[in-house]
Amino acid sequence: MPEPKINSISQMFPPKPKWPLTNIPDLSGRVIVVTGGNSGIGYETVAELLRHKAKVYLATRSKERGEKAIAELRKLPNVTGTVEFIQLDVGDLRSIEKFAKEMKSREKQIDVLFNNAGVMLEDVTSKTAQGYESHIGINGLGTHYVTLQLLPLLKAAGAAHPNEPARVVFTSSYLHNTTVPKGFDPEDPSGLNTRRPFGVTPALRCYGVSKFCNILSSRVFQRKYGGDNIVFTSVHPGVVRTKLLDGADGMFGALKDNLMSIMLIDPEKGAYTQLYAAFGPDGLVGGAYFVPYGRRCATIKQGDDTQVQDTFDRWCEEQIAKHAA
């Protein structure tokens, strides 16, 4: 049965969630990684996990901001889990390798990975450490490589708990629909050189391509590694009031400061859908895409095309071979 289509109005103004976060099970003994966990929905995701006794690794680029977030998290009421900082720059393939090596030295398995870190509406001239446009380099290639590097630990968790698969949740966006007509074009990975519809700024196009790539990652990984008792999903968290919007410009920036103020939701609510994807009753549906609050939804049609998924996967493999150790 095809996934239901949910219109943009319902995604921006969703009905109240039916599944309370108090239904998240006791996570004692479970190891969870949250990238970009120092602010926004990543921070709120970590906070909720700690209320359920999880051991959480807060992975972020800035040690100062990461440790500050951890100090604040430890002061929250009803926190019974533990949280540790681990350094990760998703925009640098070498940093990803170093991060994965460090994780493997600390843990034998990872039960849940939240691929939450990302950039939004950045200056399209900004580059990653390896020279990629920042949206595709961080949100797309970097996030894909983080997952690839942590696969041994995720597989170990899947093997250790046959009745409880390991989970990987990619934070995507409704704006994946601003990607290029092909879905992903290896000749124009950022989408900057492909004609854009009216109203789609260069930054919005790059962001849309990169968020579509998160959906492709979840589905290609599901096809390749779902048999290892790992479930991969992706989510649109909602239009969330976070620092990611600080870079918005043009028409989108004007909307952010005016009309969008009535659509923005708090990060705490924004964290709901990715928590639902990891622990909710539909979370075992590999390759599923969720929108607020915890509703399965169809993506654009290119997201279902295995050739598009494989094209992105091959492109990632080629870039990794060029630059990674």
172 is catalytic: yes
Biggest CA-to-CA distance, the chain? 51
**For residue 295, what are the β-bridge partners?**
291
Distance in angstroms (rounded) separating the CA atoms of residues 316 and 325: 14
Phi, psi of 179 (to 5 degrees): -70, 175
211 is catalytic: yes
- Record the tokens describing residue 180, joined without a space: 């290029």
Compute how many other C-beta atoms are within 10 angstroms of the C-beta atom of residue 254. Answer: 12
Q: Edge-to-edge, what's the strand order for the sheet holding 289-291?
A: 82-87, 55-60, 31-35, 112-115, 166-171, 230-235, 289-291, 295-296
**Residue reference for tokens 């500050």:** 68
Beta-carbon-side half-sphere exposure of residue 261 (alpha carbons within 13 Å): 4
Phi, psi of 26 (to 5 degrees): -60, 125
Counted residue by residue, the chain has a size of 325
- Record the tokens describing residue 117, joined without a space: 């870190």
Contact criterion met (CB below 8 Å) for 111 and 30: yes
43, 57, 132, 172: the active-site residue: 172
Short-list 46, 66, 63, CA closest to 55 = 46
Angle, alpha carbons 240-142-28 (nearest 5°): 65
CA R_g for the chain: 18
Q: What three-state secondary structure class fits 240?
A: strand
57, 207, 272, 289: the active-site residue: 207
104 is catalytic: no
55, 57, 211, 276: the active-site residue: 211
Catalytic residues: 172, 207, 211
